[in-house]
Amino acid sequence: MQLADTIVALSTPPGRSGIGVIRLSGPRSLEIARAIVCDEQFTPEPNHARLQTVYDLESRDALDRALITYFKAPHSFTGEDVIELSCHGSPVLLRRLIDLVLTLDARLAGPGEFTLRALSNGRINLSQAEAVRDLINAQTESAIKQAARQLRGELSNYLQPIKDALLDIIVPLESSLEFVEDDLPDVAVGRITQSLSELTEKVERLTATFRAGHLLKDGLKVTLAGRPNVGKSSVFNSLLSSERAIVTDVPGTTRDSLSEVVSIEGIPVLLVDTAGVRTTEDKVENLGVERTRRAIADSDLILVILDGSEPLTVEDKEVLAEVGDLPHLLAVNKSDLESFSLNGLLAEASVPVIPISAKTGAGLDELRGAILKPFAEGGARDAGLLITDARHHDLLRRTQGALQTSALLLEQRASEELVLAGLYDALRFLGQITGETTTEDILSQIFATFCIGK
């Protein structure tokens, strides 16, 4: 990755908007800004927005009045000279401006390249860079809060004392290797064993938060299944609080799967409304039924909807057979109707049975609670620092393993070299979380998951 060049990207989403922001970073940023405002003396005060006319360099026509903000190196997000142009949000205008900037010896930024530069210039560490990405991708408020904690450096602050303590063990071990002929004295072994077990426990505690953290970031996929007309689309709409799916009393109305993310206690739940499962002659509906089968197979939980105003039908039983032992719960809909009954399901079923009415909203809170219950008690509202990233989780588990191996070797009075090897591994794994010991190809893999312009 070359850092000597100047990069440019649209930092706001493509499409029409009130304002569109173009960002430049690198040594030529100010020079390029001077060119497009057609003023060689243009020297904006750093960190202050200036309203300027920007020009088409070829035709000399004024293109827009834009707010230009200059962030002087090293006091910018990337640590380099940065120019931000806040223009009116016309895609044509923004495209033209970027094309002009590209003729002035800048190049288009790759995904996450601004953040990568911030990392390379020591403005943030790797876990903070990942937090920037997670903040942008967050699907619920709780996920935003977690990403913001990581961005503030909470993860690196938790890990730093662990790394320091590891060094405190490594240094005397190394010197005993050099200077002492005999084995380590028992007191020293006891002390090291004690601090190793404390460190392992700290790492374990953090590793264990991944279950909740993973859920918070990646959420759950919940598929609604049931024969036509039981009220799947109505339940879908009620859980979303919107009229997203078409509801009619004509069986087979929903032909394709629809999905939307809804936040349940801060956890993003991808709800999938399906065509339902039934045998039909209708070609389009049959394709929908096929998709339902696939959605059922790869969801975390299946919400089987039954119509409590009628006795169970053969089709209902087919759906239940289809779901089989997959994780599911039964929502018995239309509890507002006179003829409603749970059909003896409570006594029979081995999974939760929840009476609901999509029409009145009765039982929907219980349903939300039951959806989350197998995954997270109490949601993620007031959780402490959580590990949300699979990469971090993997590295923490490896750290744990390395520490345990070292402790075992120490107990067996193996040579110091062997004990040290595990400690160095642990240190390296922790360093990969914050980026000190992360290799180039891992870095490029991580940054490939960023959006362009960030």
Residues at the contact surface with ligand GDP, assessed by CB under 6 A: 226, 228-234, 247-249, 253-254, 276, 333-334, 336-337, 357-359
231 binds, among Mg ion, ligand GDP, none (CB under 5 to 8 A by kind): ligand GDP
Q: Does 233 bind Mg ion (CB under 5 A)?
A: yes
Q: In angstroms, rounded to a whole number, what is the distance separating the alpha carbons of residues 407 and 454?
A: 43
Give the nearest distance from C-beta 360 to ligand GDP in angstroms: 7
Output phi, psi for 302, to 5 deg.
-115, 130
- CA-nearest of 88, 98, 119 to 24 is 98
Q: In angstroms, rounded to a whole number, what is the distance separating the alpha carbons of residues 277 and 404?
A: 50
Q: Does 125 bind Mg ion (CB under 5 A)?
A: no
Exposure string (b/e) for 109-141, b if CB count within 10 Å is 16 or more?
bbbbbbbbbbbebebbbbbbbbbbbbbeebbbe
Compute the half-sphere exposure of residue 264: CA atoms within 13 Å on the CB side of its CA: 28
Task: Name the one residue in this structure whose structure tokens are 């219950």.
Answer: 373
In this complex, which beta carbon is closest to ligand GDP, that of residue 265 or of residue 336?
Answer: 336
| Residue type present at position 272 | V
Q: Does 237 bind Mg ion (CB under 5 A)?
A: no
Candidate ranges 91-99, 233-241, 294-302, 340-348; the one touching Mg ion (CB under 5 A): 233-241
Q: Which of 6, 29, 254, 432 binds Mg ion (CB under 5 A)?
A: 254
Ranked by CB distance to ligand GDP, the top (closest) residue is 231
- CA-nearest of 68, 71, 69 to 123 is 71
230 binds, among Mg ion, ligand GDP, none (CB under 5 to 8 A by kind): ligand GDP
DSSP classification of residue 111:
B
Give the nearest distance from C-beta 391 to ligand GDP in angstroms: 40
Give the nearest distance from C-beta 284 to ligand GDP in angstroms: 15
228 binds, among Mg ion, ligand GDP, none (CB under 5 to 8 A by kind): ligand GDP
Give the nearest distance from C-beta 285 to ligand GDP in angstroms: 11
For residue 282 the two structure tokens come to 């209708």
Exposure string (b/e) for 264-278, b if CB count within 10 Å is 16 or more?
bbbbbbbbbbbbbbb
| Residue type present at position 9 | A
229 binds, among ligand GDP, Mg ion, none (CB under 5 to 8 A by kind): ligand GDP
In this complex, which beta carbon is closest to Mg ion, that of residue 273 or of residue 300?
Answer: 273
Give the nearest distance from C-beta 315 to ligand GDP in angstroms: 11
359 binds, among Mg ion, ligand GDP, none (CB under 5 to 8 A by kind): ligand GDP
Residue ranges binding Mg ion (CB under 5 A): 232-233, 254
